[in-house]
Amino acid sequence: MTWTAPEATRTIGPLTGGERETLTAFLAFYRSTLLQKCSGLTGSQLVEQTVEPSNLTLLGLVRHMAKVERIWFREGLAGLALPSMYDTEKGKDADFEDLSPDHAPDDYARLVEEMRLADEAAADAPLDTTFTRRGSVYSLRTVYVHMIAEYARHIGHADLLRERLDGTTGA
């Protein structure tokens, strides 16, 4: 049987509340939107390059966001020393370029797991918690804002990729 990305429900969080609730709700919204953009597609569809000459694919975005989640929350905030998620010998863009439809289920599951682990790493940390990465000091608050921006930018890409795949538009 051919694997297809599972249905995903967009998470709509509270539109009022404190800073923490707002940041986590918007991040959850964008995370679930990326998963929704992949819903119902096969591994072959997820690796299809539909906006030439760009090498962007939905699976590339899934893999990239798994890497970004890991870097900022678990490696940065939690200070964990983790192995590279993708083959570093294939370059810094291996998350976008080293794709296989056969690995789509694992890549998708990896993103979902990295989201969970990121939430776990941040759960008890105050927004003012800081860490140093590549010589710069970041707060958890900044990480949330960065991740929201990163997802929002890539959701725009995902919109175009999905529309070119099967005509699906909107959220």
Tens of each residue's pLDDT in the chain, 171 residues: 799 999 999 988 888 889 999 999 999 999 999 999 999 999 999 999 999 899 999 999 999 999 999 999 999 999 999 999 998 888 888 999 889 999 999 999 999 999 999 999 999 999 999 999 999 999 999 999 999 999 999 999 999 999 999 999 876
Q: What is the pLDDT of residue 171?
A: 65
Residue 63: predicted pLDDT: 97
* CA distances for 106 relative to 22, 90, 131, 164, 168, angstroms: 30, 19, 30, 24, 24
pLDDT value of position 29: 96
Q: Which residues contact 148 (CB under 8 A, 6 or more apart)?
A: 23, 26, 27, 30
Those residues with Cβ within 8 angstroms of residue 158's Cβ, 6 or more apart along the chain or in another chain: 33, 34, 37, 38, 58, 61
**What pTM was computed for the model?**
0.95
The pLDDT score that the predictor gives to residue 92 is: 83
pLDDT at 58: 98
